Amino acid sequence: MFVLGTLKEFFLGLFQYREYLKQSIIRELRKKYKRSILGYLWSMLQPLFMMIILAMVFSEIMKSDVKNYAVFLFCAMLPWGFFEHSSMQCLSIIRVNARIIEQLPVPKFIFPLSAVLYNLVNFFLTLVPLILVMLITNHPFTWKLALFPFMLVPLFCFTLGISMLLSVLNIFFDDTQHLTQVLLRALYFLCPIIYGKEHIPVSLLKWVSLNPLFPILEGMRSIIYSGAVPNLADYCYSLWTSLLILLLGLLAYKKASDKFIYFI
């Protein structure tokens, strides 16, 4: 009953505060590009420049044998960027919104949810340069791209769950921010981003693939780069583990949110 009550509270809050979430995302986008001449174009130009640089480094300087390495790299790096930016932003999300928390009786999970949704909008913007590169390099567009939204479900749930857990931990333990930076850097190299799973020794693959992000990133690469249907068993594993982590994040907020005011 406790779990069902938590889920009910989450979806009810999502509906009741939908207008706040919408305005919060718009406000953050305007704030980010307020004094920028190119404005929202930077959300697309920045990953495009990074794509060009890394593709040159790995395909030309380090002589990677992967065909069309730019597409190979960024169909996994862009969702990783969404996860990383959301996690880091949510570390201080409660302290940033301390005044609102003191004045209004809003559900506290609204704040990390708002940050993750904002980063999701940015993620969609970063897909534009990826599509342009695919067009320029004549990379095939297959019907498998229609499966892309299904991969977004575990990615979003996992990102929101981790972001909520980190934001709770950072309220009570100041070392969380520094430790998170180290762990994210380690996790980056343990995910199939700059390499594919075929480059990992079989003895190590069964362990690193336990990370829910691993099958998510591999699934997105299968859809976009390889034009293949992701492995169903891997997808189900990533979906259920992501939902479990989201539930843990919600439970952590439900249990600890009343204590936030004493630590911020």
Across residues 115-139, what is the average pLDDT?
Answer: 88
pLDDT for 56 beyond 80: no
pLDDT for 258 beyond 60: yes
The SS3 call for residue 195 is coil
Residues 257 and 242: their CA atoms lie apart, in Å, by 22
pLDDT for 240 beyond 60: yes
Across residues 236-244, what is the average pLDDT?
Answer: 95
pLDDT band at 41 (very low <50, low <70, confident <90, very high): low
Supply the pLDDT for residue 58.
Answer: 63
Supply the pLDDT for residue 22.
Answer: 86
% of the chain exceeding 70 in pLDDT: 85
pLDDT band at 166 (very low <50, low <70, confident <90, very high): very high
Closest CA to 78 of 240, 224, 247: 224
- Alpha carbons within 13 angstroms on the beta-carbon side of residue 143 total 0
Decide if 162 contacts 245 (C-beta within 8 A): yes
pLDDT band at 40 (very low <50, low <70, confident <90, very high): low
| Residue 9, Cβ density class (10 Å: 0-12 exposed, 13-18 middle, ≥19 buried) | middle
pLDDT for 37 beyond 70: no
* The residue to which tokens 């799973």 are assigned: 197
Question: How is the chain split into domains, by residue range?
Answer: 2-262
Decide if 133 contacts 74 (C-beta within 8 A): yes
Residues 33 and 116: their CA atoms lie apart, in Å, by 18
Question: 142: which DSSP letter?
Answer: -
Supply the pLDDT for residue 2.
Answer: 57
Across residues 47-68, what is the average pLDDT?
Answer: 66
pLDDT band at 67 (very low <50, low <70, confident <90, very high): confident
Residues 26 and 120: their CA atoms lie apart, in Å, by 12
pLDDT band at 90 (very low <50, low <70, confident <90, very high): very high
Decide if 197 contacts 205 (C-beta within 8 A): yes
Q: Of 139-153, 180-194, 248-262, which gets the smallest average pLDDT?
A: 248-262
| Residue 11, Cβ density class (10 Å: 0-12 exposed, 13-18 middle, ≥19 buried) | exposed
Average pLDDT in the chain: 84
Residues 38 and 41: their CA atoms lie apart, in Å, by 5
pLDDT band at 169 (very low <50, low <70, confident <90, very high): very high
Decide if 155 contacts 79 (C-beta within 8 A): yes
% of the chain exceeding 90 in pLDDT: 38
pTM summary value: 0.89
| Residue 149, Cβ density class (10 Å: 0-12 exposed, 13-18 middle, ≥19 buried) | exposed
> What are the tokens at 167?
């934001």
> What are the tokens at 121?
């909008």
Decide if 165 contacts 94 (C-beta within 8 A): no
Supply the pLDDT for residue 54.
Answer: 67
Supply the pLDDT for residue 107.
Answer: 82
Supply the pLDDT for residue 57.
Answer: 65
